Structure 1
């Protein structure tokens, strides 16, 4: 039986109303929960408890190995603002605050370098209003970091900032501002922050190829280009060779043309479904704790001592399984050999 069109339209309208009502209810419930949680955390007792738990966890993790270079793909700022019905600018501001908070944590843990994917070259295709917002916010955060890095009372004191990427795509005013901030913080040796802005891995490799070829043509000795020389020509200098831990938020399982060279070997890539502004200390802590645990096992095994073999050797002889000798005739027949050149 065919449903009349007027009834069909009413059913569609009713379905949309139900969906919108459910979304509004979920938004209101989430907003109320965040307010309650914020009120609880504002109480002095809970605030003191949270800070002390955080300090204890940091002290525990600092005992073991920590990654030297941690990198973030800060994804989810726009969706964060949209989910809260806020301007896109507010989402990016919240993301900047999250990065600053995690920088403090990484520096306290003993991480030597943090890099962050702040702006891709392909982001220039976004609406001009959003690009301008990101540029202005980036300028403000540059000045803020430089101020903190030179304030001996701040925990980021002694830090150095480097802006890496294709600066030819930026305005002359922005390039001058970047050079000024880098010059102010160049004396920082304790901690290095690389802001990839604007950046892609393909552009990074192209930059390295151009510089390597140019130096090769100018070098009268004509020394050969090797992996080490090529790597050192990349934007991040010493830290171009590796990135022990790469974290991407917002649920996407891709690298988006970022750090392809740096994570090619012995790197851990972690994906989180959390939007970047909501990415908390505990989420990052668990990822670094996991990395530290497996790194400890790997380093132990690299000393030619298998952890399981060591545990097995410690067992009483009565519990060990006796090994029976194997005869040569018990081995399987070798596979049939085939010549790939066609010769007999």
Structure 2
């Protein structure tokens, strides 16, 4: 028996209504749980406990090896805003706050450099309103970082910021502001932040090729281009070949034309299903802990211990034979004379 089309339409409408009701219910529950968690964390006791646990974990991890250069592909800001029925701007603002929080943690861990994929050249194809929003937000964050880097009370004091990418695509006003911020923070030696804006890895390699060829044509004595010279001319200078850990959020398993040269050799690439604004201290901590663990094993194996040395290393220190100290009078007598010309 064929069901009348009117009833089919009603069934479809009812199914959609139930799906929307379920989505709204789940959204309300998530918001409620989030507000309860936020209220708990706002209590002084829990806030104090969380901060101290974080300090202990950071000190434990800083004992072992930590990556010198950590890079982030900050993906998921738009989906974060959409899932909370917020404007896209709020999603990007939340992403900026996450980056600032993780910068503090990385600096305390002893990481020397952090790079972040803030804006791809391909992003210029997005709606003009969103591009303008990103540009304005980027300007605000630039000024904020410069203030923090020069405030001795701030954890980011002594940091340096570099904006890398094809700046010819930016407005003259934006380029002037970037140059000003880089000049203000250029003496920061403790920590370096590279903001890739606007950037693609192919553009980075193309820029390096053009720069290398130009130098060779101007300097006739330098006709050979080797890997070391080529790498040094890339946007990130010293850190162009030293990315140990690359983290991408939001569930996508691809690099999106980012740091193809920098991660080709010894980098560890970690993917997280978490949206970038939700990417927490614990998630990054576990990734760096995993990197540190395997790095320790690799360095241990590279030392090529003999079987005796491995067994000896496993013996408790209390059972090891103590080395006897040597008295000054036990050393042999010095020679009567020494020739510095090599003659007898």
Same fold (TM over 0.5): yes
What residue in structure 1 maps to residue 325 of structure 2?
none
| C-alpha contact (below 8 Å) 1:75/1:275 kept by paired residues | yes
User: Distance between the aligned counterparts of 1:182 and 1:67, measured in 2?
Assistant: 24
What residue in structure 1 maps to residue 335 of structure 2?
none
User: Distance between the aligned counterparts of 2:278 and 2:306, measured in 1?
Assistant: 40
What residue in structure 1 maps to residue 172 of structure 2?
172
User: Distance between the aligned counterparts of 2:83 and 2:68, measured in 1?
Assistant: 35
What residue in structure 2 maps to residue 121 of structure 1?
121
Residue 275 of structure 2 corresponds to residue 280 of structure 1: no
| C-alpha contact (below 8 Å) 1:146/1:181 kept by paired residues | yes
User: Distance between the aligned counterparts of 1:241 and 1:149, measured in 2?
Assistant: 25
User: Distance between the aligned counterparts of 2:38 and 2:149, measured in 1?
Assistant: 29
| C-alpha contact (below 8 Å) 1:242/1:265 kept by paired residues | no
What residue in structure 1 maps to residue 18 of structure 2?
18
| Cα offset, 1:2, TM superposition | 2.3
Residue 69 of structure 2 corresponds to residue 69 of structure 1: yes
Cα shift readout 1:217-249 (whole Å, capped 9, x = no counterpart): 111213310111111110000000121000000
| C-alpha contact (below 8 Å) 1:300/1:306 kept by paired residues | no
| Cα offset, 1:7, TM superposition | 1.4
Cα shift readout 1:12-44 (whole Å, capped 9, x = no counterpart): 111111111111011001000000000000001
Residue 322 of structure 2 corresponds to residue 292 of structure 1: no
**Which runs of structure 1 show a deviation greater than 4 angstroms over 4 or more consecutive aligned residues?**
311-315
What residue in structure 2 maps to residue 326 of structure 1?
none
User: Distance between the aligned counterparts of 2:285 and 2:134, measured in 1?
Assistant: 28
| C-alpha contact (below 8 Å) 1:165/1:204 kept by paired residues | yes
SS at match of 1:72: strand
SS at match of 2:235: coil
Residue 239 of structure 2 corresponds to residue 228 of structure 1: no
| Cα offset, 1:3, TM superposition | 2.0
User: Distance between the aligned counterparts of 1:12 and 1:185, measured in 2?
Assistant: 60
| TM-score, normalisation: structure 1 | 0.89
| TM-score, normalisation: structure 2 | 0.89
What residue in structure 2 maps to residue 182 of structure 1?
182
| C-alpha contact (below 8 Å) 2:68/2:242 kept by paired residues | no
Counterpart mapping for 1:15-94 below 5 A: 15-94=15-94
User: Distance between the aligned counterparts of 2:122 and 2:295, measured in 1?
Assistant: 35
Counterpart mapping for 1:264-343 below 5 A: 264-305=264-305, 310=310
Residue 260 of structure 2 corresponds to residue 255 of structure 1: no
CA RMSD of aligned residues (A): 1.6
What residue in structure 1 maps to residue 152 of structure 2?
152
What residue in structure 1 maps to residue 336 of structure 2?
none
Cα shift readout 1:25-70 (whole Å, capped 9, x = no counterpart): 1100100000000000000110000000000000000000000000
User: Distance between the aligned counterparts of 1:313 and 1:211, measured in 2?
Assistant: 51
Range with greater deviation from structure 2 (192-201 or 223-232): 223-232
Cα shift readout 1:95-154 (whole Å, capped 9, x = no counterpart): 000000000000000000000000000000000000000000000000000000000111
Which structure 2 residue ranges, 5 or more long, are not aligned?
316-344
SS at match of 1:194: strand
User: Distance between the aligned counterparts of 1:118 and 1:155, measured in 2?
Assistant: 22
SS at match of 2:100: helix
User: Distance between the aligned counterparts of 1:293 and 1:136, measured in 2?
Assistant: 41
What residue in structure 2 maps to residue 193 of structure 1?
193
| C-alpha contact (below 8 Å) 1:113/1:193 kept by paired residues | yes
| Cα offset, 1:312, TM superposition | 12
| Cα offset, 1:306, TM superposition | 8.3
What residue in structure 2 maps to residue 202 of structure 1?
202
| Cα offset, 1:314, TM superposition | 7.1
What residue in structure 1 maps to residue 102 of structure 2?
102
